[in-house]
Amino acid sequence: MSEFINLIFSGANALPTALLLFIFLYWIIVILGFVGTDFLDIDIDIDSDNDVDMDGASSGDLSWLNKALLFFNLGKIPLMIWLTFVAFPLWFICVNVNGLLGIENFFLGLIVFIPAFIVSVFLAKFLTWPFVKFFMKIEEDSKEKEIIGKVGTVILAADHLRRGQAEVNYRGSFLTFYIKTREGDTVEKGDKVLFIKNLDKEGFYIIEPYREIE
């Protein structure tokens, strides 16, 4: 047992082990309810090919990166779900290859880490496919529901820069949507908010604090 502990915490396996421990810690925090699954989420502009910046430079210059990320399902599902399916095969490959070759040095471990990461990303593409279909179904269902003008409850704090989440009672079912505020506003967990605009392309709603008239 001690040999296994020494192996997984050796310099060669430092990166994959640290990543796996981070994943475990993150899901423990999620289970305890301190953050949502989109806490470290990223937004990918699928239509960036056709956008042009005000200074005349085309944002399509980075379209290849967006397409590459979408190819591997990153942006179609929450980042941490995707990263979870990368971390486990990455850790397994690195620990076993480094163990078989007797590699303990950190820099030699990088030689194994890089190709192992590439393999793990491709594995994650297929392993996450059921989640992609699940989140696509949720998105399609939510688009069919009219939420504008409804009052919801914040379950993950948000402002005009940081995306959060709010829950709405829609015909007896509680639905969760991504939210942002107008500039200058901030909402915290438990606050009541009014849904005022659907930014469908960006994938969230603009809300404002809701105060009942007593």
Is the predicted pLDDT of residue 141 greater than 70, yes or no? no
Q: What is the pLDDT of residue 38?
A: 58
The whole-chain average pLDDT of the chain stands at 81
Contact at 8 Å (CB) between 59 and 53?
Answer: yes
The two most distant CA atoms of the chain are separated, in Å, by 72
Percent of the chain whose pLDDT exceeds 90: 40
Q: What is the pLDDT of residue 123?
A: 93
User: What DSSP designation does 109 have?
Assistant: H
Adjacent-strand bridge partners of 176: 167
φ and ψ of 127, to 5 deg: -70, -30
Contact at 8 Å (CB) between 159 and 150?
Answer: no
pLDDT tens by residue, 16-75? 999 999 999 988 988 887 766 555 555 444 443 444 343 444 444 556 666 777 788 777
pLDDT tens by residue, 182-199? 988 899 999 999 999 888
Is the predicted pLDDT of residue 115 greater than 70, yes or no? yes
Q: How far apart are CA 165 and CA 154, in angstroms?
A: 6
Q: What is the pLDDT of residue 191?
A: 92
Is the predicted pLDDT of residue 13 greater than 90, yes or no? yes
DSSP codes, 46-90? TTGGG-B-TTS-BGGGGHHHHHHHHHTTBTTB-HHHHHHHHHHHH
